[in-house]
Amino acid sequence: MSARTLHAGKATVGDVGGRSVVLAYGSVAAEYDALHARAALFDRSHRGRLRVSGERAAEMVAGLVTNDVAALAPGQGCYAAALTAKGKIVADVRVFVEEGSVLVDVPARAAAAWAAMVKKYVNPRIAPHTDETTRLRDIGVFGANARHVVATITGVQSSALTALPPYAHVTVEIDGARVLVASVPELGIEGFELIAPAEQHDALWRRAMEAGATPAGLEAWEIARVEAGRPEWGLDMDDSTIPQEANFDELHAISYTKGCYVGQETVARVHFRGHVNKHLRGVRAPGVEPPPRGATLHDAEGAVVGDVRSAVRSPMLGGIALAMVRREVAPGTTLVARWRDDAIAPDDVAGQVERRVDVAAQPIAIQ
């Protein structure tokens, strides 16, 4: 029985990048509450996973991404971006360096583009690469009690889990299978992901539930992600976005001292000689409902100064969103969000909706 059917009749299922995901197992509010008060359990298996192997694996991956993978030892990891030759984001990647190989984990929407990039630039005779998306699966445990849950089901000491830097990991054996246990900071609260052979997935899921974790779907994840100011490829950034526009400096995803990589010239030029004209910011709307994705943001003169990318209803903050906003817009500025709502008046100008929103200096982050 798959994790998704453990709550048969309750789960709402959706699609991300052509892959099935659970949107909610029941009440989104209850799942969100579990995340902040106890521990939430997420199925992250819809993401793509590709392994590059051999003595030169780290070197090969380093030539494709913005962070210094070649400097990492086994057990270490990092967050980074893979770019086009013109410095636009092909995928944001999570890199886990192991003995003799590098496992790269990418968003579902960017998995095909990342695989094509590896095929183009990495000679398989030098560094063999294999798609492990179906062979491996991934569960995430996040929240106040996440460390306790993970320690219980893996046998890793709580103190050892606490000591793991972001994306660092340990490998343990559970029921004869190798399980990678990584520290993942992506929701702004303590979190870990367990990447294991597909046949072990449901057993780990049940053990996590028995240890106190509550299954949670993508809707609860998205609320927490926007609260944490974490960009998602295909929503907040894409292959028209420069890494600095998505705040990759603040996410410690760019090295300016490493060797060459695809798209480096653009990233270096922005860093050393200039600046980006826009970047992701948090916006908050009065009340509960945020402006929807695609809404344009206007200043006092009516000029368009940004657009909404991800929007959620946060039980803690109300209507919030991540928006790409021009850099000259000062923190605290009130903008007007505008969008059409055809449910109000199809094909009529009266369907135009406006809502005032306040702009933050950076994406909203809740610690």
- 277-367: CATH topology: Elongation Factor Tu (Ef-tu); domain 3 (2.40.30)
Residue-level pLDDT at 356: 73
Every domain range in the chain assigned CATH 3.30.1360.120: 3-44+134-227
Q: Where in the chain is the domain with CATH 2.40.30.110?
A: 277-367
Whether domain 48-129 has CATH 3.40.50.620: no
Residues of the chain with CATH 3.30.70.1400: 48-129
- Give residue 354's pLDDT: 62
Output the CA–CA distances (angstroms, integers) from residue 3 to 10, 93, 149, 204, 209, in the order listed. Answer: 12, 25, 17, 10, 11
* pTM: predicted TM-score of the whole model, two decimal places: 0.92
Token pair in block for residue 33: 């509450």
- Output the average pLDDT for the chain: 91
Q: Which two tokens stand for residue 269?
A: 């030029």
Q: What is the pLDDT of residue 116?
A: 98
CA–CA separation, 38 vs 305, rounded Å? 39
**What residues of the chain score a pLDDT lower than 50?**
1, 3-4, 7-8, 343-351, 365-367
pLDDT for residue 10? 75
**Closest by CA position to 60, among listed 45, 50, 47, 46:** 50
On the 0-12 / 13-18 / 19+ scale of CB atoms within 10 A, 16 is middle
Residue 289, pLDDT score = 84
pLDDT of residue 25: 95
pLDDT the model gives residue 1: 40
The CA radius of gyration of the chain, in Å to the nearest whole number, is: 21
> CA nearest 181: which of 199, 209, 160?
160
Residue 2's pLDDT is 54
In the prediction, which pLDDT does 366 show? 34
CA distance 326 to 281: 9
State residue 362's pLDDT score.
58
Pairing of strands 296-298, 40-43: unpaired
What pLDDT does 308 receive?
96
Q: Where are the alpha helices (DSSP H) in 260-323?
A: 264-273
Q: Which CATH class is domain 3-44+134-227?
A: alpha beta
Instruction: Give the Å distances, CA to CA, from 118 to 48, 98, 264.
Output: 13, 18, 17
